[in-house]
Structure 1
Amino acid sequence: MARSKAVRRTDIVASAIGLLDEHGLVGWSMRRLAAELGVQPSALYHHFENKAALLTAVAEEVLLRGRRPAEIAAWDAELHLLVVELRDAMRRHRDGAALIALVHAADPESLERPLRSALERGGADERVARVGARSLVRFALSHESDEPDDFALALGIVLGGLAERLVRQR
């Protein structure tokens, strides 16, 4: 039996994103990805424990590609940017929102951590930071297809509510 050629983790993730864009999540499979890379499916499992781990890496790369370099001092400006980046990353890829939602369901901490950190810098206690971060991720997931002006208005309303909550909490 012929051995699979060596394939790098970064190549697998890049091809997986291309496959996602071409076929969506429904048409995405480990076998199809292996065929695309010209390797046996077992070569993928050398880098990823299972399909969920690979999808997590794909989602992380999709989000990483959406990050904008910026130095933001104000917690509310950072929250705004993080939510907009999340939405933009989901919109950039076919079934991006479904992918991010799937990974978030398995590991909510990865998306919520930076939002929670910004809220804590704004003075939120642990509960408000946790619930606020979770709410912002769910907001971005559920408003992924909104028109830009509607999304911006709705995000402003949500962030205004969080800011008001923090003022009352102090």
Structure 2
Amino acid sequence: MRDSGHSLESIVDASLALLDDIGLPDLSMRRVAGALGIQPSALYWHVENKQTLLAAIADRIVEEAPAGGGVADVAWSLRSALLAHRDGAEVVVSTAALGLGSGALDRRIREACASAGSAEPTRDATVLSQFLLGHCYLVQQRMQAAAIGAFDAAPADVAAATEADFAAGLGALTRYGS
């Protein structure tokens, strides 16, 4: 088998573009290969399986969030990155649930918690990560429901309408979590 000439980076680029266009349920190795103009078997030079590819996509989504800042800054930038991609939260949630990927989301939040003086930065980061991922997953589900008329809002308005809830939840967790 010969190399396709593609890199993991170009495969993730194409996969993320497809994710944004068609969503996670329709994202397949065959579709990614088709978008790249290669045979599906050529993808396996770079990724072991679809879960490995999804982990690389999740890492890319998290990398899009600016690094650094306080706990709230980190949480808000990660929220923006997750919501910037169709099914972005679901990809990151499934990757985290299976212990795949680089763990960058948890690491960023843990570092912010430690810098803020948390007595238990790992525990606090776990709780904040779960809140962030759950919130973003719920928002994206509402956006998808709104797109088909099953939720009374415009899809573009859902994320903005839930900002106050995110701020309140983040405030409660950082105020009472210790």
Structure 1 residue 151: Cα displacement: 1.2
| Code of the aligned partner of 1:159 | T
**Residue 154 (1) aligns with residue 146 (2):** no
| Equivalent residue number for residue 147 of structure 2 | none
Q: CA RMSD in A?
A: 2.1
**Residue 107 (1) aligns with residue 122 (2):** no
Pair 1:31–1:46, CA change in 2 (3 A):
same
Structure 1 residue 119: Cα displacement: 2.3
| Equivalent residue number for residue 75 of structure 1 | none
Write the distance in 1 (CA, Å) between the matches of 2:77 and 2:175: 19
Matched pairs, number? 153
**Residue 97 (1) aligns with residue 89 (2):** yes
Write the distance in 2 (CA, Å) between the matches of 1:4 and 1:120: 44
Write the distance in 2 (CA, Å) between the matches of 1:28 and 1:111: 23
* 8 A Cα contact 1:20 1:94, kept in partner: yes
Write the distance in 1 (CA, Å) between the matches of 2:117 and 2:61: 30
Write the distance in 1 (CA, Å) between the matches of 2:16 and 2:26: 12
Write the distance in 2 (CA, Å) between the matches of 1:143 and 1:5: 39
Structure ID, larger Rg: 1
* 8 A Cα contact 1:4 1:40, kept in partner: no
Pair 1:46–1:18, CA change in 2 (3 A):
same
* 8 A Cα contact 2:12 2:56, kept in partner: yes
| Equivalent residue number for residue 154 of structure 2 | none
Matched-pair identity in %: 35
| Equivalent residue number for residue 139 of structure 1 | 131
Structure 1 residue 30: Cα displacement: 0.5
Write the distance in 2 (CA, Å) between the matches of 1:60 and 1:15: 15
Consecutive unaligned residues in structure 2, runs of 5 or more = 140-158
Greater RCO, 1 or 2 (C-alpha within 8 Å, sep 6+): 1
Write the distance in 2 (CA, Å) between the matches of 1:26 and 1:83: 27
Write the distance in 2 (CA, Å) between the matches of 1:123 and 1:80: 14
Structure 1 residue 79: Cα displacement: 1.3
Structure 1 residue 122: Cα displacement: 3.4
Structure 1 residue 150: Cα displacement: 1.9
* 8 A Cα contact 2:65 2:80, kept in partner: yes
Structure 1 residue 159: Cα displacement: 1.1
TM-score by length of structure 2 reads 0.77
Pair 1:111–1:65, CA change in 2 (3 A):
closer
Consecutive unaligned residues in structure 1, runs of 5 or more = 73-77, 166-170
Structure 1 residue 7: Cα displacement: 1.4
* 8 A Cα contact 1:4 1:39, kept in partner: no
User: Which 4+ residue blocks in structure 1 deviate beyond 6 angstroms?
Assistant: none
